[in-house]
Structure 1
Amino acid sequence: MDGSCPLCNSDLESSLHLFMVCPFAKSLWFRSHWGVRIDLVAFGSTSDFVNFLLSPPFLVNQCLGQKEEFLLYGAILCDMVWKQRNQVLFVDVSLNVDGVSTKISCLFSEHNIPKGSTTYQQVPSSIQTWIPPPGMSFKINVDAAVGPRFSSIAVVARDRRGELVFAGSMKVNTTLPLLAEVEAIKWALSLAPAMGYDCIIVESDCQYCVHLLNDLAERPPWKFWSLCSELRSFLSVLDKVSVMWVPRQCNAVAHTLAKWSLSCNFFGPFDFGNYPACFSSIILEESRRAL
């Protein structure tokens, strides 16, 4: 080995280069929802970089939670860069900045559970299946599946008997998991006024997105600022509509439809009788449990 960086082959490998100077790493930093231009920050040593992760200058006036989120993202990014470096060096895989960026965002979404946030409704994590809505209300389950060039979002509306009211999927032009999840919630909220039920419950398994929409004191990332503000305003005038977090196992029907649509590149509303088999089986099983 000649000692050059295996990710760019343009400079000698070092910790500073690998995580901050390498074009591959710089691209990943810029794709974060902070849009970090890591090349504009001067690092004299790795300790400077650690201090940057612990106390980023652009978040100096933000709450501790924002800084903890950035530290989590930075730790995940560095781990993924190191793993990609080893795969290139020892397994001879090709660089895939889109795939790595998507994986970082997914891991960040999974691990970024807001601390001490109990201001919004959520289904207990001990619940293992979909629960029908009470009385004359109905539920809209939403989810997103992220691909290398675009994402798929799905919405599934059911009444208290578990009977299907509407199911559909849509292609969205983003590969950011959090943005795709928010777009799915936006679609569900746009359908709510025409449903005509006493109460509408939108369920998502993205806890961070649900937290952003319900906790008005939480400042959304700048990439989602406009969309989150729009949805918060929408929710403020829809007093019979709520957005709740549920565990993944309670959101299987929307999760399955989003994944199927992405893999088959098939989008749109689904008429009764032409649903994918993987989707229909979940609907039937959960409707039987609702009776």
Structure 2
Amino acid sequence: METNDHILLGCPFARAAWFGSNLSFSMPDGESASLPTMIQNWDKMISLSKQNWSPEEVFLRAQWAFDEYYSLTRHHHHHGEESQPGSILPPQLTWKQPEIGHMKINCDAALPLEPTGGGLGVVIRNQRGEILWATSIPVSFFDALLGEFWVVRSTLIDAKDLELTHIIVESDNATVVDTLNHQLPSLPVRAMGFIQDIHSLANQFETCQFVHISRGANQVAHTLARKALSLASKTD
């Protein structure tokens, strides 16, 4: 029977997930995977440079990711949908084409572990899934939430420049989407400037929707945002 340590740290998928994360952590060969040992030897096993995340913070972020995946899959099964044979992700975890006459805009922000700046990624696609616009934008921000609001504002500015009229803006940050849809009891004060700008810009479109999606459905924008971390200027 598989143990929790093996599932979370030792199996090939878990090892790949840890290594592919921002931590770039790789379990040393020949060592047994153990959560207590990992936490006790945190400083020796993982180097986090200038931004020191505690083990609790890292596992909390992992819990957030799991909660998002669980809520989406639970919704999927609740509605009686069946996964297609051979599919890796349920349908709602993949990008979907917008309705005819609408443009779908996916956006994401990336912030490295070291406080050296950040990156924004935006991709615009039509109802056939064709990419009309894609950009990576290196910017300087040190708060992940502000970066997520920043990229939404940049998205709307690009959409106005392209003279789009009916848009659907997708983000994998639930706080941002809920805030813009007036679904939170209080607004993040530090982002008020961005929020006001976004609402002002949104009112200039005939229709503008803000939709929360999973990271899997936002992969192209995420990749563009990560690409921006290595750029000196905006690229289209």
TM-score range, shorter chain: 0.5 to 0.7
3-state SS, counterpart of residue 258 of structure 1: helix
Deviation at 1:96, TM superposition (A): 4.1
Name the aligned partner's letter for residue 42 of structure 2.
Answer: Q
Judge conservation of contact 1:109–1:206 (CA < 8 Å) in 2: no
Aligned to 2:42: 87
Higher helix share: 1
Deviation at 1:214, TM superposition (A): 1.1
Deviation at 1:191, TM superposition (A): 1.7
3-state SS, counterpart of residue 229 of structure 1: helix
Aligned partner of 2:140 among 173, 188, 205: 173
Aligned to 1:13: none
| Matched ranges for 1:1-291 at <5 A | 87-88=42-43, 91=44, 96-100=49-53, 104=57, 107=61, 110=64, 127-147=92-112, 148=114, 149-215=116-182, 218-262=185-229, 264-265=230-231, 267-270=233-236
3-state SS, counterpart of residue 200 of structure 1: strand
Bigger CA radius of gyration: 1
Name the aligned partner's letter for residue 141 of structure 1.
Answer: N
TM-score with structure 2 setting the length:
0.62
Name the aligned partner's letter for residue 150 of structure 2.
Answer: E
Deviation at 1:236, TM superposition (A): 4.0
CA distance in 1, matches of 2:218, 2:95: 7
Deviation at 1:225, TM superposition (A): 2.1
CA distance in 2, matches of 1:226, 1:165: 29
Judge conservation of contact 2:106–2:218 (CA < 8 Å) in 1: yes
Deviation at 1:247, TM superposition (A): 0.9
Name the aligned partner's letter for residue 101 of structure 2.
Answer: M
Deviation at 1:268, TM superposition (A): 2.0
Aligned to 2:71: none
CA deviations on 1:49-83 (whole Å, 9 max, x unpaired) are: xxxxxxxxxxxxxxxxxxxxxxxxxxxxxxxxxx9
CA distance in 2, matches of 1:248, 1:95: 23
RMSD of aligned residue pairs (Cα, Å)? 3.2
Deviation at 1:160, TM superposition (A): 1.0
Name the aligned partner's letter for residue 51 of structure 2.
Answer: D
Deviates more, 1:235-244 or 1:198-207: 235-244
* Greater RCO (Cα-Cα under 8 Å, separation 6 or more): 2
Aligned residue-pair number: 174
Structure 1 gaps of 5+ residues are: 1-82, 114-123, 271-291
Deviation at 1:252, TM superposition (A): 1.1
3-state SS, counterpart of residue 152 of structure 1: strand
Structure 2 gaps of 5+ residues are: 1-37, 69-78, 80-89
CA distance in 2, matches of 1:104, 1:177: 15
Name the aligned partner's letter for residue 135 of structure 1.
Answer: I
TM-score with structure 1 setting the length:
0.51
Judge conservation of contact 1:214–1:232 (CA < 8 Å) in 2: no
CA deviations on 1:172-222 (whole Å, 9 max, x unpaired) are: 211221111111111101122233344111111111111111116632222
CA distance in 1, matches of 2:50, 2:179: 27
Deviates more, 1:223-232 or 1:153-162: 223-232
CA distance in 1, matches of 2:178, 2:189: 16
Judge conservation of contact 1:143–1:181 (CA < 8 Å) in 2: yes
Judge conservation of contact 2:103–2:125 (CA < 8 Å) in 1: yes
